Structure 1
Amino acid sequence: MRDHSGDAPEVATSPDASRPLARLPKAHLHLHFTGSMRHGTLVELAERDGIRLPSSLTDEWPPELSTMDEKGWFRFQRLYDVARSVLRTEDDVRRLVLEAALDDAADGSVWTEIQVDPSGYGARFGGITAFTDLVIDAVREAGEKAGIGMGLVVAANRTRHPLDARTLARLAAQYAGRGVIGFGLSNDERRGDTTAFGPAFAIAERAGLALVPHGGELRGPAHVTQCLDHLHPHRLGHGVRAAESEAVLDRLATSGVALEVCPTSNVSLGVYATLEEVPVRTLTAAGIDVALGADDPLLFGSRLGGQYAVLRAAQDFSDAELAELARMSIRRSYAPSDLVNGALSRVDAWLDAPAGR
């Protein structure tokens, strides 16, 4: 097994890197339910039920991935499906959510938004409504135990029929204000017709939910424009390839759409060859809010704190720049206003403290 602890690798740091990143308050806005699982939990649950894991999830973890072609995405999805299969009981679900909350709290998260596609679990847990009830309760319980705020995003799968997305949008709307804070759209961005998902997002929009689809990662800036035109997002999952078009950057900035950027995920999936290439500064310089996220720590081997650490190490982000990214994540979250205001004050205190303390 490779020597990975689930955090960013040990690398050289910038001169002011002594302020501990785990103490920097931040919000985690891009975290997938299955992908949030601890690697040790995956192995333990698989052994419990006699599920044989592929070597890329055991002795070769985290797996070598690239999704720049159809075969690569199929392999990524197969690993994801294997991970989903180990969740067999309600206690398994509660454990996953609690461990995700504890891991985020340890990384300084004060608010975490976790997204799930209930249709991937409905058959095993009594239907999509029963499963959503379970996850909402697990999120509430986990947030209380970990001492952080949490919200749930119901996400449709773009490889399924758009009518399925409408069903999930209506489900999310039923729980608006009762644990569900948003509606998303995930899976392989190159599949499905984005315009066909517009009616589902209209349902979620009428319910007052945050609209947070994926876009602009595996496809370029033209798809970002398509998402803006038809899905009306408040935030866009990833969106990094907007950096390839000044016009799209300007439109994102003008419309106030934030981006959920996941550096280690971008490199692991082959969107960029190195961490130095992830265009976080290009995006923020254009006036776009960026919230760093871990995406799927189970498959990428790095959690929330690792995203800040790699920008500090690979792109020499200063503590002031990292603090501003943390502020952006908090401001663009759907956390209660008192939590937001308190966390922003604590970011200022973190930055005001002398480096080295």
Structure 2
Amino acid sequence: MKNLINKIHQNQYFLLFILLFAYVQSVYIRIAVRRQIDIYIFTPEAALASTLGAGILFVIILFFIQKWQKSDTFSNAVMLRIFAISLLVFVISMQLIGFLIALAFDKIEKNFNQHVLLFSLLSDFLSGIIYGSFFLAYYYYRKNKKQLQKLSTYNEALAESRINQLKNQLNPHFLFNNLNVLDQLIEEDKHKASDFLNEFAEIYRYVLQASDKELVSVKEEADFAEQYFKLIEHKYGEAYQLNLESKNTNALIAPLTLQLLIENVIKHNLGTAENPIEIHILMDENITVSNNINLKKNSKSVSGRALKNLKEQYSLLSENAIEIHQTDQEFSIIIPFIYN
């Protein structure tokens, strides 16, 4: 009983529509037949009877759906089969119910003569088509909606899993690169290496915290980028220069985005004190990271796995893709902002 009440509550608007349609239909038929308007025309007993008959039809259709439609995949052939058999069973059921009522009140001859029987069969058949069509349309709409919700949930879970996988690929990349820098500094200058290690510990703490987040604020990422660039200065001095201009700090971006892009510039370009590589980061309607080009001899013209992973991460997080532009003098990447 409780389950039935819950079902009625869940489908209350559809059932209300059926009741209103049945009422309007009964009023229209009475006016068409009697060709006059009186109080009887607006009484609801015919609408209630039609709604009850529609309920019987719905139960029959659900029975055959559960019996024959085993797959979640929609099939026109199966639907037509269900509809046809349900319609036949409904007409037979309504005639049987009518016969039992007539038998109880001794009205068989009056209600089951040839003329009345033909009219009753036609009426039940047309009602079955109308209300059955309403029900099937509603049922498959609800079913499709649930499938879309499941698919959406699955895609979100898949995207989140893929993002975490990409982050797990980037974090070791960040760690090993900076440990290599530390190893070189230890050979060159132990005091410098000590300062680098202290700053690196602070930065890596942010890396670990950010790894648990899908998105971070632009301000957090900008502060981290400037702190990270101090590590670069420990090794390269003024060979690489950073100019960060922030106009938009209300948006979100994927964590470690700026760090990866700065690292990408240094990986592919050779900077010197006389001919430095200037990295410009502008945050306006989006993030534009640009730099002058002085490619290393062993550097590929296209970016490697880290940038490829970043592009894939943004394809999961945003409708706008990362844009890459390159000329002989300048390389630039445009990163879309993400808003709640």
TM-score normalized with structure 1 length: 0.22
TM-score normalized with structure 2 length: 0.23
Higher Rg of the two aligned structures: 2
Q: Higher helix fraction: Structure 1 or Structure 2?
A: 2
Relative contact order: is structure 1 or structure 2 higher (C-alpha 8 Å, sep ≥ 6)? Answer: 1
